[in-house]
Amino acid sequence: MQQYPGVTSISPQEKNLSAELMQQVAEHKGCGTSGGSGKASCGSSAAQGDMPPEIWEKVKNHPCYSEEAHHHYARMHVAVAPACNIQCNYCNRKYDCANESRPGVVSEKLTPEQAAKKVLAVASTIPQMTVLGIAGPGDPLANPEKTFKTFDLIYKTAPDIKLCLSTNGLALPDHVDTIKSFNVDHVTITINMVDPEIGAEIYPWIFYKHKRIKGKEAAKILSEHQLQGLEMLTERGILCKVNSVMIPGINDQHLVEVNKAVKSRGAFLHNIMPLISAPEHGTVFGLNGQRGPTAQELKRLQDNCEGEMNMMRHCRQCRADAVGLLGEDRSAEFTTEKIMAMDVQYDAGTRKAYQELVEHERQEKVAAKNSELSELAAQRSDIKLLVAVATKGQGRINEHFGHAKEFQVYELSTAGAKFVGHRRVDLYCQGGYGEEDSLATIIRALNDCNAVFVAKIGGCPRDELSKAGIQPVEQYAHEFIEQSAIAWFKDYLEKINSGEISHVRKGDADIRQGAYVAA
Residues 6 or more apart from 489 whose CB is under 8 A from it?
A: 376, 385, 387, 412, 413, 417
- Whether 73 and 143 map to the same domain: the answer is yes
- The string of pLDDT tens digits covering residues 66-76 is 666 666 777 88
Asked if the model's pLDDT at residue 519 lies above 70, the reply is no
Is residue 179 packed enough to be buried (19+ CB in 10 Å), middle (13-18) or exposed (0-12)? buried
Tens digit of each residue's pLDDT (9 = 90 or more) over 330-375: 777 778 888 788 888 888 888 888 888 888 877 887 787 777 777 7
Alpha-carbon distance of 431 to 314, in angstroms, equals 29
Asked if residue 483 and residue 398 are part of one domain, the reply reads yes
Question: Residue 518 — very low, low, confident or very high, per pLDDT cuts 50/70/90?
Answer: very low
pLDDT tens digits along 398-432: 999 999 988 989 999 888 888 888 888 865 565 54
- The residue among 337, 356, 384 that closes a domain is 337
Which range has the top average pLDDT, 21-30, 288-297, 465-474, 495-504?
Answer: 465-474
Instruction: Write down the pLDDT at residue 173.
Output: 97
Residue 264 placed within a domain: yes
Q: Say which residue, 453 or 434, is predicted with more confidence.
A: 453
CB of 496 closer than 8 Å to CB of 380: no
Which pLDDT belongs to residue 195?
Answer: 97
| Of 27 and 286, more confident | 286
Dist. CA 204–CA 215, nearest whole Å: 6
pLDDT of res. 49: 57
Q: Is residue 289 part of a domain?
A: yes
For the segment 321-327, the average pLDDT, to the nearest whole number, is 68
Question: Given pLDDT bands bounded at 50, 70 and 90, which one contains residue 106?
Answer: low
Q: What is the pLDDT of residue 38?
A: 36
Identify whether 97 is part of a domain: yes
In this predicted structure, the answer to whether residue 44 has a pLDDT above a threshold of 60 is no
Residue 310 clears pLDDT 70, i.e. is over it: yes
Q: Do 281 and 417 sit in the same domain of this protein? A: no
pLDDT in tens, 254-291: 999 999 999 999 998 899 988 988 887 788 898 899 99
pLDDT of residue 454: 96
Residue 317's pLDDT band (boundaries 50, 70, 90)? Answer: low
Its domain, for residue 419, covers: 367-497
Say which residues have a Cβ less than 8 Å from residue 127's Cβ, sequence separation at least 6: 350, 351, 354, 355
Would the pTM count as exceeding 0.85?
Answer: no
Give the per-residue pLDDT at 436: 63
Do 252 and 153 reside in the same domain of the chain?
yes
Cis geometry, peptide bond prior to residue 140 (ω within 30 degrees of 0):
no
Residues 457 and 317 in one domain: no
Residues 375, 459, single domain; the answer is yes
223 in a structural domain: yes
pLDDT given at position 104 = 53
152's CB contacts (< 8 A; 6+ apart) are: 4, 112, 182
The per-residue pLDDT for 40 is: 35
Residue 5's pLDDT is: 36
Helix (H) or strand (E) holding 198: helix 196-202
- Does residue 444 fall inside a structural domain? yes
Residue 23 counted as domain residue? no
Length of the chain: 519
Residue 390 lies in a domain: yes
Q: What is the pLDDT of residue 236?
A: 92
- The domain that holds 465 is classified in CATH as 3.30.420.130
- pLDDT for the residue numbered 167: 95
The percentage of residues in the chain with a pLDDT greater than 90, rounded to a whole number, is 36
Instruction: Give the integer Cα–Cα distance in Å for 71 and 174.
Output: 35
What is the total count of domains within the chain? Answer: 2
Phi, psi of 506 (to 5 degrees): -140, 145
Specify whether 325 is located in the same domain as 398.
no
Assign residue 246 the CATH number of its domain.
Answer: 3.20.20.70
Q: Quick count: other Cβ atoms within 10 Å of Cβ 289?
A: 8
Q: Are residues 379 and 454 located together in one domain of the fold? A: yes
Q: Which of 337, 357, 379 is the last residue of a domain?
A: 337
Same domain, 319 and 382: no
Q: Are 81 and 139 in contact (CB under 8 A)?
A: yes
pLDDT classification of 504: cutoffs 50, 70, 90: low
Task: With a cut of 70, say whether residue 8 has pLDDT above it.
Answer: no
Residue 296 has pLDDT above 60, yes or no: yes
Closest listed residue to residue 25, CA positions, set 71, 67, 59, 72: 59
Average pLDDT of the chain is 79
DSSP string, 108-157: ----HHHHHHHHHHHHHH-TTEEEEEE--BS-GGGSHHHHHHHHHHHHHH
pLDDT at res. 381: 82
Reported as a single tens digit per residue, the pLDDT across 183-238 is 898 899 999 999 999 999 999 999 999 999 999 999 999 999 999 999 999 999 89
- pLDDT digits 0-9 by tens, 377-398: 777 788 889 999 999 877 889 9
Residues 6 or more apart in contact with residue 369 via CB below 8 angstroms:
38, 416, 417, 480, 482, 483, 486
Of 54-63, 189-198, 465-474, least confident by mean pLDDT is: 54-63
pLDDT of residue 41: 40
Confidence of residue 2 (pLDDT cuts 50, 70, 90): very low
Of 216-220, 443-447, 500-504, minimum mean pLDDT range: 500-504
Q: What pLDDT was estimated at residue 453?
A: 97
Q: Rounded distance, CA 390 to CA 409, Å?
A: 9
Shared-domain flag, residues 155 and 273: yes
Question: Is 317 in the same domain as 390?
Answer: no
**Per-residue pLDDT tens over the stretch 126-173:** 888 888 889 888 899 999 999 999 999 999 888 888 899 999 999 999
Q: Same structural domain for residues 170 and 225? A: yes
In a domain, 359, yes or no: no
Q: Answer whether residue 321 shows pLDDT above 70.
A: yes
Choose the final residue of a domain: 293, 322, 337: 337
